[in-house]
Structure 1
Amino acid sequence: MTNSIILYAVENRIATITLNRPQVKNALNKALHDELYQAFEQAKLDPEVGVIVLQGSANAFCAGADLKSIPVEEMNSFDYGTYLDETYNRLIRQMVSIEKPIVANMNGIAVGAGLSIALACDYRVANADVQMGLGFLKIGLVPDAGASYFLPRLVGLGKANELALGGMISAEEAYRINLINGIGNLDDLLQQLVKMPRKAFGLMKANFRASFESNLEQVLNLEVEAQRQAGQTKEHKMAIQHFLSR
């Protein structure tokens, strides 16, 4: 077993990023944040990568923040907001900026900020036995790492308020409420995504997200600009040529 806290591999245009702190169920400390950011940046810039998969090692996806990494002797002066902005928020902004599809392979427990990071991915697929939940309120904190943004949009405000109470849910329940996209069908999804035209997917991703804060006229204008860009791509021109030659 490698000692690296992040494992990175590329095969068949799919970059797999694996959180590798199994002794703490892949809980996130500052070092893991830094290496995870670099791994996403590497996948973002690599022209040979078409899809990014995020997963955990052993039997966990991510247990959230590593509370043991918080300096107890500095608790009275420790600024959670500053730490959040320098770690999780930086990561979430980066993930949202990546045009390529990002898939959370939830291969084990996903709780707290670990679930939040999965919510920021474009797709989520879970093993059948996975349990997930938000435990922030149980330790006197609020959901963060983008959970306040993504969760209500995925499941609705009422269900988000319910999940925020900290109860664990199964993969089956998560699928029922649209929190995840599938159970155990990761390979089928990846093969579909790897064929997607990269520029068009990135523009779609940005437009869908912007639609929640925009009126119809603004969205129509976003689509005009996006279609203008997509229409000039090699992928579009090749697809049209292929269609006309049939």
Structure 2
Amino acid sequence: MSDQLVKLAIKNNVATITLNRPEVKNALNDEAHEQLYTAFEEANEDSEVRVIVLTGSGNAFCSGADLKSIDPNDLENVNYGRILRETYNKLITLMAHIGKPIIAHINGVAVGAGLSIALACDYRVADQGASFGLGFLKIGLVPDAGMSYYLPRLVGYPKALELAIMDTISSEKALDIGLISSIDNIDKTIQSCLALPPTAYRLMKNNFRESFDHHLAELLEMEVTAQREASESKEHRVALDYFVNKSKR
């Protein structure tokens, strides 16, 4: 990718996507957005990739939108809604529909839309010294990039409102309220995800995502369809054969 604002490395069935603007704590400008979207597309389309890891370079995960790239003398002509539709909304939608496990390795600060992107990942593993915050209200803006969807679902409505007016919180606090999955556990999480059956995981992720927008009866039918497809997969046949034969030993 040109200028390498986002790096993509594929090794041992793991695609590692690294935000690479450490001088601005990996804040995202338009070009970085384009490269990040392309990296996720490539990782999703590569049949050798079974797990996707998103992280940041330097001592930050992502500080959100690069507001310093906006000309303060031209604020009247800045259309935040259009920018969202063309960048974050497009990216978050892609991530939601990727059937492979996506792990956010939060190696430092994750604030604003940077936290939003982490929340859109399936799993969030933080380093001990990472920190988390919304920060939107401090600059007179509302949480975006999927924050309004994911945050209340992860921590609950009251806690989401509380986080919106707080300063940054530590990894320990984030783990305590369910904002992240674990601390200092990235290698184990990657290995656990590599061991997952790809077809069943993709179908499960889709059903979990759709569960918020469908009634029970509809979800039951979706499970029927998904289970039928999963039962026809090679990984199910292999796992079932191993399970049956192991039980006979």
User: TM-score, normalized by length of structure 2?
Assistant: 0.96
- The corresponding residue for 1:240 is 240
Mapped contact 1:22–1:58 kept (Cα < 8 A): yes
Residue in structure 2 matched with residue 230 of structure 1 by the alignment: 230
Structure 1 unaligned spans of 5+: none
Per-residue CA deviations over 1:124-181 (Å, capped at 9, x if unaligned) read 0001111110000110100000000000000000000011114210000000000000
Equivalent-residue separation in structure 1 for 2:244 and 2:131 (angstroms): 48
Task: State the Cα deviation string for residues 66-88 of structure 1 (Å, max 9, x = none).
Answer: 00112333311211001000000
Displacement after TM superposition at 1:212 (Å) = 1.8
Q: Which amino acid aligns with 1:68?
A: K
Please say if 1:68 is aligned against 2:68: yes
5 Å-filtered alignment, 1:132-147, equals: 132-147=132-147
Match of 2:184 in 1: 184
Q: CA deviation at 1:11?
A: 1.4
Q: Counterpart of 2:8? A: 8
Letter in 2 for 1:191: Q
* Paired position in structure 1 for 2:47: 47
Question: How is 1:53-202 mapped onto 2 (pairs within 5 angstroms)?
Answer: 53-202=53-202
**Runs of 4+ residues over 3 Å off in structure 1:** none
Distance 2:76 2:132 in 1: 31
Larger mean Cα displacement after TM superposition, 55-64 or 161-170: 161-170
CA distance in 2, matches of 1:28, 1:237: 44
Q: Partner amino acid for 1:38?
A: T
For these two proteins, the number of residue pairs brought into alignment is 245
Does the aligned pair in 2 maintain the 1:138–1:166 contact within 8 Å? no
SS at 1:8's partner residue?
strand
Moved more, 236-245 or 113-122: 236-245
Which residue identity does 1:205 align to in structure 2? Answer: K
Partners of 2:148 and 2:40 in 1: how far apart? 22
Deviation at 1:245, TM superposition (A): 2.4
- After superposition, the CA RMSD in angstroms is 1.2
Give the structure 1 partner of residue 204 of structure 2: 204
Provide TM-score, normalisation by structure 1: 0.97
Distance 1:175 1:100 in 2: 23
SS in structure 1 opposite 2:77?
A: coil
Matched residue type, 2:105: N
Amino acid at match of 1:133: G
Q: Distance in 2 between matches of 1:3 and 1:29?
A: 13
2:95 partner SS: helix
Q: Distance in 1 between matches of 2:215 and 2:25?
A: 42
Percent pairwise identity: 56
Q: Which amino acid letter does the alignment assign opposite residue 228 of structure 1? A: R
Contact 1:27–1:65, Cα closer than 8 Å, also in 2: yes
